[in-house]
Amino acid sequence: MSQPPFFHDASGTVRFWIEIQAQWIGASVGKDTLHHRYCPGSVDEDPLDTYRSHAAEIEQAVRRKVEQGAIEPVMLREFDLRAA
């Protein structure tokens, strides 16, 4: 079962779920990772807005990690997004 993506303040990550082979996989990406990859010149951008603007690319990175054997929860790093 999926739920909308949200920003988890305590961990500083956007948490989200994607469906892969009829199974919902939980994943997260840090606000600093989002900033450095997508908004390096910005100040005070909203990590959830940044995630939403680049969701397709971010979800593809999760799919690659799962195909490579990652298990839930999948935590994306800056390197994972550069390989997109």
Domains, the chain: 6-38+46-82 (3.30.160.140)
Alpha-carbon gap, residue 52 to 55, rounded angstroms: 5
Give the number of other Cβ atoms within 10 Å of residue 33's Cβ.
Answer: 23
**54 Cβ contact partners less than 8 Å away, ≥ 6 residues apart:** 34, 37, 38
Please list the rounded mean pLDDT of every run of 10 residues in the chain (84 residues).
90 97 96 94 91 97 96 95 72
Beta bridge partners of 23: 20
Q: What is the pLDDT of residue 44?
A: 84
Could you tell me the pTM of the whole model?
0.91
Q: What is the pLDDT of residue 42?
A: 84
Q: What is the pLDDT of residue 43?
A: 85
Q: What is the pLDDT of residue 24?
A: 95
Answer whether the bond into residue 40 is a cis peptide, omega within 30°.
no
Rg (Cα) of the chain, in Å, rounded? 12
Q: What is the pLDDT of residue 50?
A: 96
Three-state SS for 19? strand
